[in-house]
Amino acid sequence: MKNELYNFKFSILIILILSTGCAEKMSVADGNYSEQIRLNQIGYYPGASKKAVIVNGNGAMDFQLVDAKTMKTVFHDKLSEEMSWELAGEKVQIADFSTVTDDGEYLIYIKSLGYSYPFKIEPHVLKDVFLGSVKAMYYQRMGMALEEKYAGKWHRPMAHPDDSVAFHSSSGKKVGFLNSPGGWYDAGDYNKYVVNGSFPLGQFYLFQEQYPNIIADGELHIPESGNGVSDYLDELKYEMDWLLTMQDEDGGLFHKLTALNFEAMVMPHEANSQRFIVGKGTAATLDFAACAAQAFRIFENTDAIYAQNCLLASKKAYAWALKNPNVEFLNPEGVSTGQYGDKNFDDEWFWANAELFISTQNEKYLNALTKDPFNFEFVPGDNWTKFMRFMGMFTLLENRTGMPQEVYESLKTGILRTADELLKRTQELDYFQPLDDFQWGSNSDVLNAALLMSQAYRLDPKPDYLIAVQHAADYVLGNNATGYSFITGFGHKTPMFIHHRQSEADGIVEPVPGLISGGPNFGKQDTSDGVVYPENASPMQSWVDQEPSYASNEICLNWNAPLTYVLGFLEQESN
């Protein structure tokens, strides 16, 4: 019923957009768009590369670009020769309309297939998606009611105040409680994790440091709007405030705040299992140290006292890690929520040393991060264990003060070399994206690779880097082997049944907007839970819009963070 209602509303919307009484327009507006024409369902910047992928074109030779208002052809050209894409499991042709730069709303038309979904060409075409990706974090807030005036139809009562949370024995505390309110729900579950709070927050901070105050006060329409501070900073502070509460008196960070097991698919205020402060470890402590050192720079100009408190907390965490350099976190017996485990802390040490050096200019941190050769290998997969090394590199390249020239040049050369390797993949691989290995959260791997190439563009503004980042955005917005825009609420064909407890339980047809689905995952670890993937699905097709599919269709903070960066970067650099 939920899906049927969505389809009905979608058809009505398309009619309102395109119909002016013309019979030809009505044939397009009835919702019968071709699923074989894959493109960015939101649109393209006027100067951007613009490519659509035609799947099984039935011998088509050419394509037309049609004005959606007049239904007149404004551009036509030949399709490419047919190619076989093994990762996608498809035979495809390319429609390249990059030379079209006039603002407007358009459709691709192919005689043997029909019309594509409508899309726009205009400046700031991705601004609404960018803002939506940040507003999604507001919808993940806990410890406060989401009022209808800010949350619209997704409003809900307050849940999980976390003002008196018991210590689990794994925390090292035998008695007592911790006041640890606020923060964001980590993913589709109702728990909070220091590793996966610090890491995505660091990516959000990176964007703020490079492109400050892009989101104005009031632009997100959140409770803090109107306080004279960017809504972006207000939203990030809500998560930072919680992270600060998870620091023990000795400086170490508790690993997570969770129930013992994942809650059922119920609304937050109906998830009433007892919650605990669980574990303490080196990974969480170092990730926090890095993130808090960043926070010092981010908040220094708006709240100097808060910024100093973050820096003090960072130094205290770092000192604990020096005394406890190899404390691995594993889920204790009886706890089955997200582990976010790691055995090798080299990347965490690098990130913490980099952020603390830039924030303090103390050479002890610089000496620590330069004692070993730099590692520039981009590895898809569990990015909360690997990618923070790059976060440290980006910070060092962004803030050159006090850094030896040879260190800077080594970092710059290494990042450009890795970016060139990723760029080469985008020019060779299916759907112009950089992955040939589709693991859990593959969409975030695509976006993290794009984030890395965006840093290369900032160092050396070659057009090819920018084009590769644009293609990554195209990929997550519909130009992919599933034909879906992976971002809820943005696009014509979007996930409706994400693995997200509120979206499943709230009785609303549309899921919470602005959240990116994890994406194709060839591991398909959830088939034993009743998830059914397409038969003989290729790696790029190993995704389903099914609520139980936690392996392909869940959402997560560390997937939205690079999405926000990439969209914000394009909004700044493509106009």
Residues designated catalytic: 189, 499, 545, 554
> Which DSSP state fits 80?
P
Enumerate the β-bridge partners of residue 253: 247
The strand order across the sheet containing 165-167 reads 177-178, 165-167, 275-280, 254-259, 192-193
Residue 260 near residue 178 (C-beta atoms within 8 A): no
Residue type present at position 103: D
CB 476 within 8 A of CB 563: yes
Spatial distance between the Cα atoms of 214 and 211, rounded to a whole number of angstroms: 6
Handedness of CA 197, 198, 204, 205 (dihedral sign): positive
User: What amino acid occupies position 270?
Assistant: E
CB-CB contact of 396 with 408 (8 Å): yes
Cα(444)–Cα(382) distance, integer angstroms = 10
Distance of CA 440 to the CA centre of its chain: 13
Yes or no: say if 125 and 43 are a contact pair by the CB < 8 Å rule: yes
Quick one: DSSP state of residue 462? -
CA-angle at 348, arms to 344 and 349, nearest 5°: 95
What is the Cα–Cα distance from 528 to 540, expressed in whole angstroms? 20
Euclidean distance between CA atoms 568 and 379, whole angstroms: 24
d(CA 230, CA 107): 37
Given the structure tokens 């729900």, which residue do they identify?
Answer: 185
Q: Are 159 and 146 in contact (CB under 8 A)?
A: no
| Residue with tokens 């939920």, as numbered in its chain | 2
Give how far Cα 521 sits from Cα of 437, 490, 504, Å.
Answer: 9, 22, 21
- Going edge to edge, which strands form the sheet with 51-55? 37-38, 51-55, 90-96, 83-85
Whether the Cβ atoms of residue 493 and residue 116 lie closer than 8 Å to each other:
no
Question: Three-state SS across 146-174?
Answer: ECHHHHHHHCECCCCCCCCEEECHHHCCC
**Contacts with 143 (C-beta within 8 Å, 6 or more apart), sequence order:** 158, 159, 160, 161, 162, 181, 182, 183
Integer CA distances (angstroms), 466 to 78, 378, 426, in order: 25, 19, 12
